[in-house]
Amino acid sequence: MTSGGTGRDDQQDARRRLTDAMAATMAEAGGLTAEAGRLLGEIDIALSITRTTLDDELAAQRRRLRREKEEAEAKLQADAVRRTRAVGAALRAAAEELAPGAAGAGWAARALSVPQPARAVPSAVRVGTLPGGAPALLPLIGVSGWVVGGSGAEQLIADTVLRLALSAPPESLRVSVFDPRLRGILGFTSLFRDTDPIGYPPAIQTEDGLRRLLSGLIDRIGRAAETMSTAGAADHRDLPLSQAGRLELAVLLDAPSGVTETAADDLNRIVESAAGRGVFLLIASPGYVDGPIRVGDRAQVDVDRGLVRVDAAGEIRSDSFAAVPGLSVRADPSPTPAARNNLIHARAEAIEAAAQGTMTLEAVLAEIDAGWSDRGDDGLSGIFARMPGGLGGLELRSANPPAPNALIGGAVGTGKSNLLLCLIYGLASRYSPRDVRFHLLDFKEGVEFARLAPTGDETWLPHVDSLGLESDRAYGVAVLEHLASEFDRRADAFKSAGASSLADYRALTGRDMPRLVLVADEFQVLFEPDDDVAQRAVQLIEHLARKGRAYGVHLVLASQTLSGIQALALKRDAIFGQFHNRISLRNTEHESETILGAGNLAAGDLHGRGQAVFNDDLGHLAANRIGSVVWADPAYLDRLQTELFSRAMADGFTPRRPSTFVSSAYAEWIPADDREIATVGVPISVGGTAQGFSLKRGRLGNVALIGDDLDRTRAVLSSIHASIRASDLASAQWTVIDSSGVGLDDVGPWANEAGIQRISAEEADSFLRTLTARTAVPSSRIERVIILDDPDDIASLVDSDEYPRPIEAVERFIKRSIACGMLFVIRFRSMSSYDARTAGELRDGFRTIVLTEPGSQTDLLAPGTGRMDFSGPRVVVVDRSSGRQDLLVPFDPAALPQNGIEKTEVSIPI
């Protein structure tokens, strides 16, 4: 028993020792496991720290590289801009010497606001614009003329004749026109005939008339050759003006129509001998391409013997440009008929003023010693006329007695534009821009007010707040709305300060508050037709005219006629009863009454430009005074404007760049205030900010562009691209699917950008198949922007047995694309195409719709667009979630921010 017990005890001890050993081992193993876990944790932390450090270093390196790349690109761009500006300045200086004034200026340039004759017939004339903005010129010396072919031949020749007629000295040019098809293309030259009947004879339409013209030109060349030989002159321009005579400009339209074989022989003699001898040919032959001009079966005009060949089909091409291979010359848009006629009348006015020795604005301002010491507390006084008792003009008074507004009239060519310029510059010379601000509207498509806007030298009249050029009623109403809101703001300010007048407010607060002067030329356009725009204009003008004087708001309204304006029928007396000041230049007796007042026919008895009736008592006859408006010499106005701008800067006043609106033009680029906005354009308003659609998550949706206007489509797409590139979505990749092959991406800032995937019309089908078939992966940000041009041009994308319509798979993908990190911008050429596509999966696929051709077709989608008056590039942006719609002026693609990156074709896998 003892030995058995001992054995059992030994076994128990052994088990205990084994158990203890196992426990110890397990404890040790547990400790080792814990230690291993601790070590692994430390390793994980170390790895995490290392990974974070590496990520931070990599991110910092990426940021540094991106910054260095951006700095390098900015430097390259700045250098390119400097070089371009230097070359452009040199080209412009050379162009000004060869083609001064109207011969070489852009149609909207300050030099053309009142076109001045040059000292001699120009040596060249502008036909278009070079890359960088410098004018492209063709010669008038050393050649016998031009032959112009292409679809734009007649317009180019018409513009050339207009430029020469505006720039040539008086009685230095004779324009003879052969118009065999009686189309009257150069009919506007008859407006020059009033002041120079010899220089602008009626057009010739018969073969006999052409024969006599060509015979006379041959005689002219012979006489010039003899005179030049006697004087030892190489060119008739080297002769004294008394010997040189007029330059004979012969224009042949629709050649060879009406040209006989005999006439062709005479033309060949002229082509061979006219250069430098006072005769110049302009031949318009729209069907001409190259070689001689065929006349009948046996004759021809040998162009190569002395004519410059010009192709005006699209871009301007000429053998004169052959020295620069690949040179692209963009044709300048022609002035509208109204703008052209205004230029002609302004030139006639300038010549007459110079011939009569009319007193100038420069002399008047020097005599009255105009300065900025007068703050205009009680009103404004503009001196710009010679009166029987001395100098006079217009006083806009708030009280004692009140005469806050002025009505100005005058027939065409009587000097109304000159009067308005004298008034504006006269007030600007007398009052500081702190004390007077102008809002200027030109409704007659003229260019007189263009000289007041910012120019290439970045100066402008520092008193101007807003400037509207060309007829645009919507902008006119926008300016009136702006003045009405300023009126309300001032009313609140006066109440807070306890002021009863502008002078009181200034005295009590010590703050600047300028008088606001609206000058509107041909303001009656606002009321034609009698629609909602007209009625709103009437309401605003009546409101401002009645109550504006108390708050320093003045209206100066000018017109040729106020007869028959239906919108004013019930409000004429209420409105014009607030216009104590009346000025009328020469007019009919009927229009004299509409401007001056019933029974006041005095303007019908006036003679000559510049003579006017001045009346400051609502047109009562006893208050009539007859005076002569002084002449605003354009050269002096340029000097004065620069001087006033410099004076403002020296006085501590930094002139604000005026809000300038040109009805027929795209808007100048301005970035959005919010980086999360994809901009499309600016509203028709004073100082409006860029608008478009939201890029914020939750508010962003696909975009549909509807319309066949390619220029506006490109403008909108370029603007969207520029603003997205400046937003938090800047890293998004871009794909352009040009299924119609029209080249949506060849204009604007993205035209030269690397990294954009460009899918051709042939590749579109395959690309969209692949894109649609890929697995949809949700994404929290937009990683790709896809421009799709017209789904109607894309072939079948999937098996039609799987889907009812071939494109339905793509439509389903587009509908959910935002969640997958893709923004689609799709262009539909028409409302019918959009309606057909959105009948299926895409019914709710778009949040924003941009109408590039708003009108009656879009009225159901955007109510009211069918009644809108569009006189320039306009688009309507519709937010489908809120129903809001905005009328915008799209940005000029050529003026959008450039990235300076060279364009390359790349392939980016999807």
Binding residues for ATP: 410-417
How far CA 341 is from CA of 186, 301, 345, 394, 683, in Å, comes to 12, 34, 6, 28, 30
The sheet with strand 625-629 has its strands ordered as 390-397, 379-387, 625-629, 611-615, 581-585, 406-409, 553-559, 515-521, 436-442, 464-469, 659-662
Measured CA angle at 421 (ends 415, 425), to 5 deg = 150
How far apart are alpha carbons 786 and 739 in whole angstroms? 12
Q: Give the closest residue to 246 by CA, choosing from 222, 270, 280.
A: 280
Do the beta carbons of residue 715 and residue 890 sit within 8 Å?
yes
Measured CA angle at 680 (ends 676, 684), to 5 deg = 115
Q: Residues forming the annotated binding site? A: 410-417
How far apart are alpha carbons 621 and 612 in whole angstroms? 14
In degrees rounded to 5, what are phi and psi of residue 345?
Answer: -65, -40
Instruction: Write out the DSSP string of 132-194.
Output: TSPEEEEESSSSSEEEEESTTHHHHHHHHHHHHHHHSPTTSEEEEEE-TT---TTGGGHHHHT
Q: Which two tokens stand for residue 199?
A: 């220089």
Give the position of tokens 């009126």: 487
Q: Give the closest residue to 103 by CA, choosing from 166, 193, 158.
A: 166
Give the position of tokens 């319509």: 805
The per-residue b/e assignment along 684-707, b for 16 or more CB within 10 angstroms, e otherwise, is bbbebebbbbbbeeeebbbbbbbb
Q: Give the closest residue to 382 by CA, choosing from 373, 374, 372, 392.
A: 392
Report H helices in 463-531: 473-497, 502-509
State the burial class of residue 659 (Cβ atoms within 10 Å of its Cβ: 0-12, 13-18, 19+). buried
Q: Give the closest residue to 480 by CA, choosing from 418, 535, 559, 436.
A: 535
Do the beta carbons of residue 248 and residue 220 sit within 8 Å?
yes
Residues contacting residue 206 through CB under 8 Å, at least 6 positions apart: 258
Q: Is the preceding peptide bond at 401 cis, omega within 30 degrees of 0?
A: yes
In degrees rounded to 5, what are phi and psi of residue 168?
Answer: -70, 145
How far apart are alpha carbons 7 and 513 in whole angstroms? 118
HSE-up of 824 (CA within 13 Å, CB side)? Answer: 27
Q: How far is CA 538 from the centre of its chain?
A: 28
How far apart are alpha carbons 342 and 513 in whole angstroms? 36
Q: Give the closest residue to 207 by CA, choosing from 266, 149, 155, 153.
A: 266
Q: What is the 3-state secondary structure (H, E, C) of 352-398?
A: HHHHHCCCEHHHHHHHHCCCCCCCCCCEEEEEEEEECCEEEEEEEEC
How far CA 738 is from CA of 626, 745, 767, 794, in Å, comes to 67, 9, 12, 10
Q: Which two tokens stand for residue 709?
A: 């206007």
How far apart are alpha carbons 582 and 558 in whole angstroms? 10
